[in-house]
């Protein structure tokens, strides 16, 4: 493909991504994967160049663009190599008209920029949300040690005790160490969130929003395969991915529970009042993960944010019902909005006076409310809010 043809293809893919964002359709990575699968004529260099163009363009736009062409024109304002490619060639984009307006730049839609600012995220802190995410690994302590693990490519230790950082784009899934369960891909901030729970061998621990099980596997390693570890979620598809991952990791103590939304205690009733620790990695807006999913800014609206906050409160109340006297709860969200972080945790403590906030001794992060916030700018991790509460004995 010519450079101009790559630009035109990126524009067409951006049109699909914009439409999907407005209609809550498929995410950008899936749209790209499906296009590449259906258009085998695009070689590996073409695919890499198109993907790069698409994501650079998404990051360059703040509000949802009117069109893929407008979005690409926004990128052209900052990249002098792009305007000449609007050359009207057979597979390239039409020349730029004098009156054409590029899409607006910025960090996010205006209402969301304002919400971030009210949560103390503006200026450099906000701009850092659109940088490039590193690729972090967690060494599986059930099978290996960070100090002695030999990897095919260079890796630097992170602030997490089992964390390593490799070059972005490294195909770690092709490594034998990944196939043998010695490593997992996991952001350093996510690893620290698991450490905040301080899961111990022999305890009864519940991962209440387990999803695909990344944090569950970290908890299994911390527990040294001793005790009970229940991974629960309402998403059957995501939860089904845990079993093969657990087998590869050698995590043998994990039990899974599929939950019915709104009727979760029917599947968890036998654990009520018995859990030593509950991890609530609640569904959230994902503002802390924009470096990986920049088009997520275009999917969020105030109605969805309110729905998520209500869901988080419901899940937290459910977690409290599972705690034994003296048990502890860790609340984690990959967001930087106080409505889903510090404010949500304050409301939990107000609803449940038997809970008391507990200090966290994490190697990264800054105090936010009664918890800790991790940010891409200050910590080099995804954005997280992490807080711990203990139930009275």
Return the CATH number at 180: 3.30.70
> What's the number of domains the chain is made of?
3
Q: Specify whether 268 is located in the same domain as 355.
A: yes
Of 384, 382, 356, residue with least CA distance to 372: 384
Q: Which tens digit of pLDDT belongs to each residue from 25-81?
A: 999 999 999 999 999 888 889 999 999 999 999 999 999 999 999 999 999 999 999
Residue 270 assigned as binding residue: no
* Residue 334: active-site member: yes
Give residue 82's pLDDT.
96
Q: Specify whether 234 is located in the same domain as 304.
A: yes
Q: Specify whether 157 is located in the same domain as 96.
A: no
Q: What percent of the chain is predicted at pLDDT more than 70? A: 100
Q: Which tens digit of pLDDT belongs to each residue from 312-361?
A: 999 999 999 999 999 999 999 999 999 999 999 999 999 999 999 999 99
Give residue 152's pLDDT.
95
Q: Specify whether 230 is located in the same domain as 150.
A: no
Beta bridge partners of 139: 183
**Residue in the block written with tokens 């939304």:** 261
CA 94 to each of CA 21, 49, 76, 87, 149: distance values in angstroms, whole numbers, following the listed order:
25, 20, 14, 6, 53
pLDDT at 393 over 90: no
126 lies in a domain?
Answer: no
Q: Specify whether 198 is located in the same domain as 320.
A: yes
112 lies in a domain?
Answer: no
Q: Which tens digit of pLDDT belongs to each residue from 72-116?
A: 999 999 999 999 999 999 999 999 998 899 999 999 999 999 999
CA–CA gap between residue 199 and residue 278 (Å, rounded): 9
Give residue 98's pLDDT.
87
Cα atoms in the Cβ-side hemisphere of radius 13 Å centred on 184:
30
Q: Specify whether 160 is located in the same domain as 88.
A: no
Residue 233 assigned as binding residue: yes
387 lies in a domain?
Answer: yes
117 lies in a domain?
Answer: no
Residue 175 sits in which domain range?
Answer: 135-185
Residue 260 assigned as binding residue: yes
The continuous run of DSSP H or E covering 221 comes out as helix 214-222
pTM of the shown model: 0.93
Give residue 40's pLDDT.
85
Mean predicted confidence (pLDDT) in 106-128: 95
pLDDT at 169 over 90: no
CA–CA gap between residue 303 and residue 293 (Å, rounded): 20
Q: Specify whether 356 is located in the same domain as 240.
A: yes
Average pLDDT taken over every residue of the chain:
95
Burial of residue 17, with CB atoms counted within 10 A of its CB: 0-12 exposed, 13-18 middle, 19 or more buried: buried
Handedness of CA 87, 92, 94, 96 (dihedral sign): negative
Domain boundary among 86, 106, 126: 106
The single residue of 61, 194, 334, 388 carrying the catalytic annotation is 334
239 lies in a domain?
Answer: yes
Give residue 41's pLDDT.
86
Q: What is the CATH number of the domain that holds 360?
A: 3.40.50.150
- Band (126; pLDDT cuts 50, 70, 90): very high
Q: Specify whether 195 is located in the same domain as 329.
A: yes
Mean predicted confidence (pLDDT) in 214-224: 97
Mean predicted confidence (pLDDT) in 159-174: 95
Q: What percent of the chain is predicted at pLDDT more than 90? A: 95
127 lies in a domain?
Answer: no
Q: Specify whether 244 is located in the same domain as 347.
A: yes
Q: Specify whether 238 is located in the same domain as 368.
A: yes
Give residue 42's pLDDT.
86
Q: Specify whether 337 is located in the same domain as 222.
A: yes
Mean predicted confidence (pLDDT) in 263-268: 92
130 lies in a domain?
Answer: no
Domain boundary among 59, 89, 106: 106
């Amino acid at each position: 493909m010519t450079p101009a043809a790559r630009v035109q293809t990126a524009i067409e893919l951006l049109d699909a991504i914009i439409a999907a964002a407005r209609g809550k359709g498929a995410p950008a990575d899936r749209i790209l994967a499906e296009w590449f699968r259906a258009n085998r004529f695009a070689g590996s260099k073409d695919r890499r160049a198109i993907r790069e163009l698409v994501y650079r363009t998404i990051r360059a736009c703040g509000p949802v663009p009117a069109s893929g062409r407008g979005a690409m024109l926004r990128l052209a304002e900052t990249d002098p190599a792009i305007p000449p490619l609007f050359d009207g060639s057979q597979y390239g984009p039409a020349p730029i008209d004098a009156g054409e307006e590029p899409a607006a730049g910025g960090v996010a839609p205006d209402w969301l920029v304002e919400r971030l600012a009210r949560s103390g995220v503006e200026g450099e802190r906000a701009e850092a949300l659109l940088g490039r995410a590193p690729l972090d690994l967690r060494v599986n302590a059930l099978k290996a040690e960070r100090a002695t693990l030999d990897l095919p490519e260079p890796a630097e230790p992170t602030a997490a005790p089992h964390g390593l950082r490799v070059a972005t784009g490294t195909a770690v899934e092709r490594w034998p160490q990944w196939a043998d369960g010695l490593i997992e891909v996991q952001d350093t901030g996510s690893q620290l969130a698991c450490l905040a729970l301080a899961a111990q061998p022999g305890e009864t621990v519940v991962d209440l929003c387990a999803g695909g099980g990344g944090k569950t596997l970290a908890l299994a390693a911390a527990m040294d395969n001793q005790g009970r570890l229940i991974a629960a979620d309402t998403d059957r598809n995501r939860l089904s991915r845990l079993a093969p991952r657990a087998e590869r990791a050698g995590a043998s103590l994990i039990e899974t529970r599929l939950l019915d939304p709104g009727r979760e205690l029917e599947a968890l009733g036998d654990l009520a009042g018995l859990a030593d620790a509950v991890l609530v990695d609640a569904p959230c807006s994902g503002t802390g993960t924009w470096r990986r999913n920049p088009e997520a800014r275009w999917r969020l609206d105030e109605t969805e944010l309110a729905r998520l906050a209500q869901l988080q409160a419901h899940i937290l109340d459910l977690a409290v019902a599972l705690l034994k006297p003296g048990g502890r709860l860790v609340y984690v969200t990959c967001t930087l909005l106080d409505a889903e972080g510090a404010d949500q945790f304050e409301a939990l403590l107000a609803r449940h006076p038997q809970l008391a906030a507990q200090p966290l001794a994490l190697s990264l992060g800054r105090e936010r409310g009664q918890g800790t916030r991790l940010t891409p700018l200050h910590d080099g991790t995804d954005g997280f809010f992490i807080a711990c509460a203990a139930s009275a004995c």
